[in-house]
């Protein structure tokens, strides 16, 4: 399977051997957006959701998720995550913007950890508000920046 790193010569799924790669400082950021009714955003902003502080709980959920990425993604390496930052910002009139940034010093990047943090934070917003708005949707989950490693830096357009 040319170009894909998680397959062996016979086409079987395989974990990539990163043992010979140098340890470097690495960082990745991912974004997601939860789109909702304006009334739902107003409840979040006011802090009156029945389940509590939506943005605070989602922030903690994202941080916890980043640290457990290797347990969720089958071929993902467990990494010594050194920093996780999850920012959630209300975006008028009808969304919450999420940005997760993860850092490590290791042999492989933290893109999956950043994506996992952003997605779980978004799912937590949905979970905490679904009683008032089942029509919410999660949009735009993607890596927006990464640095470190042999492939160098990436910044999304």
Residue 113 near residue 133, CB atoms below 8 Å:
no
**Cα-flanking dihedrals φ and ψ of residue 115, to 5°?**
-65, -40
DSSP characters for 89-140?
EEETTTEEEEEEEEEEEESS--HHHHHHHHHHHHHHHHHHHTTT-TT-EEEE
Which one of the listed residues 17, 94, 127, 139 is annotated catalytic? Answer: 127
**Cα-flanking dihedrals φ and ψ of residue 106, to 5°?**
-165, -170
Let me know if 53 is a catalytic residue: no
Q: Which residues contact 40 (CB under 8 A, 6 or more apart)?
A: 94, 129, 132, 133, 136
Catalytic residues, which ones?
Answer: 127
């Amino acid at each position: 399977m040319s170009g894909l790193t998680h397959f062996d010569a016979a086409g079987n799924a395989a974990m990539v051997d990163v043992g010979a790669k140098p340890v470097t400082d690495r960082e990745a950021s991912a974004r997601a957006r939860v789109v909702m009714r304006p009334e739902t955003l107003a409840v979040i902003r006011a802090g009156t959701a029945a389940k509590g502080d939506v943005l605070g709980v989602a922030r903690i959920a994202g941080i916890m998720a980043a640290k457990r990425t290797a347990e969720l993604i089958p071929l993902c390496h467990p990494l010594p995550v050194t920093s996780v930052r999850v920012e959630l910002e209300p975006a008028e009139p009808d969304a919450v913007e999420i940005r997760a940034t993860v850092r490590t010093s290791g042999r492989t990047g933290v893109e999956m950890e950043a994506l996992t943090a952003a997605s779980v934070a978004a799912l937590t917003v949905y979970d905490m508000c679904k009683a008032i708005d089942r029509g919410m949707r999660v949009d735009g989950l993607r890596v927006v920046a990464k640095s470190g490693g042999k492939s160098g830096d990436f910044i999304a357009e």
